[in-house]
Amino acid sequence: MRVGRPVKALPQPLCDYCGAKAVLARFADEAYPYRDDHGPLWVCTPCEAWIGVPARSTRNVPLGRLANAALRDAKSRLHDALEPLVAAKMRRDKVNAFEARGKAIRWLGEELGFDLPNPSIHLLSLEQCEQAIAHIEAFKAARRAEGAGEREPR
Ligand SMILES: [Zn+2]
């Protein structure tokens, strides 16, 4: 529960790779890794690792762990693997993409025994992303083999 909690100190995320304190960079700052504005980012420059903050966050709480190139790539592949399931869930359960994505990630976390305080792929490690992608592929293959139920869109 968020309500009623005392105001906490501003976050200081550490880099998972080297342990250094991440720096909050804004668009056009020297440390900012993108040429266009993706909102504020917590950055570890030596590791080329970063993580964003929620769009409406005023305290710049990081979305999850800092991600280097390999983890960013894995999260992007996991996102792509999940989207067909999310689309199917939206149709079936009549929920929006945000809710459907949350349920899909919660399902993955339960299936694979991840400890996720909230359903976000930004909390996953590289290994967990790879496990999750493999799990989704196996799930889809099993579904196809069954030949029953709802087909995933191609
Ligand atoms: Zn680092």
Evaluate if residue 87 carries a pLDDT over 90.
yes
pLDDT of residue 138: 96
pLDDT tens-digit readout, 111-128: 999 999 999 999 999 999
The number of residues in the chain equals 154
Distance (Å) from CA 96 to ligand 1 centroid? 36
pLDDT of residue 2: 55
pLDDT of residue 22: 97
Distance (Å) from CA 97 to ligand 1 centroid? 33
Distance (Å) from CA 132 to ligand 1 centroid? 25
Distance (Å) from CA 93 to ligand 1 centroid? 41
Evaluate if residue 34 carries a pLDDT over 80.
yes
pLDDT range class, residue 147, cuts 50, 70, 90:
confident
Neighbours of ion ligand 1 (CB under 5 A): 15, 17-18, 20, 44, 47
Do residues 63 and 47 touch, judged by C-beta distance below 8 A?
Answer: no
pLDDT range class, residue 4, cuts 50, 70, 90:
low
pLDDT of residue 110: 96
- Closest listed residue to residue 74, CA positions, set 129, 114, 119, 128: 129
Percent of the chain exceeding pLDDT 90 equals: 81
Distance (Å) from CA 88 to ligand 1 centroid? 38
Distance (Å) from CA 108 to ligand 1 centroid? 28
Distance (Å) from CA 12 to ligand 1 centroid? 13
**Which carries the bigger pLDDT value, residue 11 or residue 3?**
11
When pLDDT is averaged across residues 145-154 and rounded to a whole number, the result is 61
Distance (Å) from CA 54 to ligand 1 centroid? 21
Backbone phi and psi for residue 43, each to the nearest 5 degrees, phi listed first? -125, 140
**CA separation, residue 84 to residues 18, 55, 58, 118 (Å):** 35, 24, 32, 21
Distance (Å) from CA 67 to ligand 1 centroid? 9
Lowest mean pLDDT among 5-14, 86-95, 118-127: 5-14
Q: Where are the domains of the chain?
A: 1-66, 69-146
